Amino acid sequence: MDTILKFLGSDHRACDDLFASAEAAAAQKNWDSARTLFDQFQAAMAHHLSMEETVLFPAFEARTGMREGPTQVMRMEHEQMRGLIQDMAGAFAAGDRNACLGLSETLNMLMQQHNLKEENMLYPMSDQVLSNSRDDLIRSMQAVA
Amino acid sequence: MSTQAGLSFEQAPPFSLPLQFFLTAPLFLLVAALLIVMDPASLASRWTPQALALTHALTLGFLAMAMLGALMQMLPVVAGSPLPMPRAVAWFTQAPLVLGTLSLMMGFLSAGPLAFGIAIVLLGIGFAVFLAAATVSLVRATGNVTVWGMRLAVLSLGLTFTLGLALALMRAGVWIAPARAATLAAHLAFGLLGWVLLLVVGVAFQVVPMFQITPPYPPLLGRWLTPGLFVLLLMHAAAPGLPPRLGVLVEAGLAAGILLFAVATLRVQARRRRKLPDVTLDFWRLGMASLIASVTVWIVAQFSPTWADSDAYPLLLAMLFIGGFAVSVVNGMLYKIVPFLAWFHLQAQLQARAGSIPTMKDMIAEDRTRWQFRFHLAACGLLAVGLFWPLLARGGGLMLALSALLLAFNLLSAVRQFFRHGGRFT
């Protein structure tokens, strides 16, 4: 079975892909397709954040005893992302190209530096400390609605 | 991988710390430009006092200043390992670096032993503090391709400084070292191809894919390029003791590594998912084109002894590498890092709903970044051509001055937005 790094890392790539498609459609003011793609991106992000917050982070915290550590920083950045995504939803609905692109540039930087921290540190650490229950954890994450 | 390393990853250092480096850097670009404008003839040879002062304004005042600030910011993100005592490190690095660089420039311009002496002490303090802190952080860090690039770059910085120290002691008349030419060659190689290039390469492996959402670099390149270049640099430093034929082979290996990196970067960027206009992308492409041009200039010198012995050859090589490659890439990075940090710290401080604060794109007006790129491009072009047609050099200097001023103005406008919306330095 996959490692946590591979499983969640490839989910990052999938989210990035939807993000780039939605942004490109908004840049071309192709609003019908932009809104559809943005909805897919928003759903994919919600799913990804929820897999981490309801399955991975609690398991990591329980195993390491660190509740105020790295997972806390990750949760804070998740909130920052949710704020930007919510504003983007408004900008996509209104068909406001400049607002979309200003928010998307900001979200991209926030998301990418966040992904680097997870893929360089948190996921490899999780693979290490949770190696016994890794397969079960991935199954639980796949089952998240 | 040590579990301990990742445990300390925490929020970025306070905004004011990297920012003090980023805001000082353009001032040295301006100083360099003014040296050219006041006396374009100083570019007649690499050995004129003005050319030496100018080079160090660019490498220490602009490049090292911005790169140390960026390292401070990036270590927690890519290595999970912040600098220890960031506040003290920032102050004991930045202020000595500013004053030490100015003293060094004075030393070159006035040939005064006292100025060299002051520069040695100040730069010694600044680099010793930063290198010690970076060593602690990089030893603790989780190893990945970028961390290895950073480790070798920081090691090269230490070597560059040590060799520079020996050269400055000679200038100050304190010490007559043997093998002055070899020391100088190694100082140059470790400074430009070690510290500057290895750091850019290591960082590029992670940030180029992230800015434009591109495919990753080929993994083999990521694994072998920085250690390979570093080994070649060590051999290059030992070259005076090796057969000349081997020396040329080592240089050819370095040139091939540079070419590989530039071509690979242009290739992944061509396959980017985000196709929107982006000034940072333009700066990077100019940087990669300049790397390719500098390798071409080097190749020509291998076949034309007249060109290799001319005064213009080393100057053109330096201009393409320092101005066209390094300054461009760092300048482009500043346009991502500074607006992002302004947004990030503002959001975190105010716990603001995202819509109530400016986005990254509102931090710096896009058309002004575009104009700054044009001034920079014009400066690079005019200064390169100016080596053969000196009339153009002053125009190149003026363009560089405009570019430096507009860069400072643009970065300050992000800081102004930060304060206007209620941000504060903590």
Q: What is the mean pLDDT of residues A107-115?
A: 95
Apex CA B47: angle with CA B46 and CA B51, to 5°? 60
Indicate whether B244 pLDDT > 70.
Answer: yes
Residue A128 touches chain B, beta carbons under 8 Å: yes
What is the tens place of the pLDDT at every residue in B134-165?
Answer: 999 999 987 888 999 999 999 999 999 999 99
Closest CA to B286 of B249, B321, B256, B318: B321
Higher-confidence residue of A53 and A120: namely A53
Apex CA A116: angle with CA A110 and CA A120, to 5°? 155
Indicate whether B5 pLDDT > 80.
Answer: no
CA distance, residue A114 to nearest chain B CA (Å): 8
Which of B144, B276, B336 is opposite residue A101, by nearest beta carbon? B276
Indicate whether B76 pLDDT > 90.
Answer: no
Angstrom distance (rounded) from CA A131 to CA B140: 23
CA distance, residue A56 to nearest chain B CA (Å): 16
CA distance, residue B353 to nearest chain A CA (Å): 6
Token duo for residue A123 = 């996921």
What is the tens place of the pLDDT at every residue in B95-108?
Answer: 999 999 999 999 99
CB contact under 8 A, B9 and A73: yes
Q: Is there a contact between A51 and A144 (Cβ–Cβ < 8 Å)? A: yes
Which of B1, B274, B347 is opposite residue A20, by nearest beta carbon? B274
Angstrom distance (rounded) from CA B112 to CA B18: 33
CB contact under 8 A, A23 and B276: yes
Q: What is the mean pLDDT of residues A60-78?
A: 90
Q: Is there a contact between A33 and A25 (Cβ–Cβ < 8 Å)? A: yes
Residue type at B311 in one-letter notation: D
Closest CA to A7 of A112, A108, A119: A119
Indicate whether B267 pLDDT > 50.
Answer: yes
Indicate whether A133 pLDDT > 50.
Answer: yes
| Res B355: pLDDT | 64
CB contact under 8 A, A121 and B6: yes
CB contact under 8 A, B206 and A116: yes
Indicate whether B342 pLDDT > 60.
Answer: yes
Indicate whether B178 pLDDT > 80.
Answer: no
Residue B401: which residues within 8 A CB-CB, separation 6 or more? B30, B33, B34, B37
Higher-confidence residue of B178 and B362: namely B362
Q: Is there a contact between B226 and B184 (Cβ–Cβ < 8 Å)? A: no
CB contact under 8 A, B3 and A90: no
CB contact under 8 A, B336 and A109: yes
Chain B, nearest residue to A127 by Cα: B3
- Chain A residues whose CB is inside 8 A of the B5 CB are 121
- Chain B residues whose CB is inside 8 A of the A113 CB are 77, 210, 340
Q: What is the mean pLDDT of residues A112-122?
A: 92
Residues 52-111 of A with CB under 8 A from B: 66, 69-70, 73, 76, 80, 83-84, 86-87, 90, 98-99, 101-103, 105-106, 108-110
Residue A9 touches chain B, beta carbons under 8 Å: no
CA distance, residue A126 to nearest chain B CA (Å): 10
Lowest-pLDDT range, B57-66, B176-185, B211-220? B176-185
- Chain B residues whose CB is inside 8 A of the A10 CB are none
Q: Write down the residue that tokens 């390992």 correspond to.
A: B81
Q: Could you report the predicted ipTM of this complex, rounded to two decimals?
A: 0.93
- Cα–Cα distances (Å) from B284 to B266, B346, B398, in that order, read 9, 28, 23
Question: What are φ and ψ of residue A130, in 5° steps?
Answer: -110, 25
- Chain B residues whose CB is inside 8 A of the A105 CB are 359-361
Indicate whether B1 pLDDT > 90.
Answer: no
B interface residues, A as partner, C-beta within 8 Å: 1, 3, 5-7, 9-11, 77-80, 142, 144, 206, 210-211, 213, 273-276, 336, 340, 343-344, 347-348, 353-355, 359-362
Q: What is the CATH number of the domain that holds A57?
A: 1.20.120.520
pTM for the structure as a whole = 0.95
| Res B44: pLDDT | 84
CA distance, residue B399 to nearest chain A CA (Å): 29
Across the A:B interface, residue pairs with CB atoms under 8 Å apart total 102
| Res B78: pLDDT | 86
Number of domains comprising chain A: 1
CA distance, residue A26 to nearest chain B CA (Å): 11
Range of the domain at A99: 4-143
Q: Return the residue in B210, B334, B351, B418 with the most chain A beta carbons within 10 A, the one to mutate for interface testing.
A: B210
CB contact under 8 A, A109 and B360: yes
Within a 10 A sphere around the Cβ of B419, how many other Cβ atoms? 12
Indicate whether B237 pLDDT > 50.
Answer: yes
Handedness of CA B398, B399, B400, B401 (dihedral sign): positive
CA distance, residue A100 to nearest chain B CA (Å): 10
What is the tens place of the pLDDT at every residue in A76-85?
Answer: 999 999 999 9
Exposure b/e, B274-285, CB count within 10 A at least 16 = b: beeebbbbbbbb
Chain B, nearest residue to A83 by Cα: B354
Task: Give the number of C-alpha atoms closer than 13 A to the C-alpha of residue B34, restricted to the C-beta side.
Answer: 9
Q: What is the mean pLDDT of residues B81-94?
A: 94
CA distance, residue A125 to nearest chain B CA (Å): 6
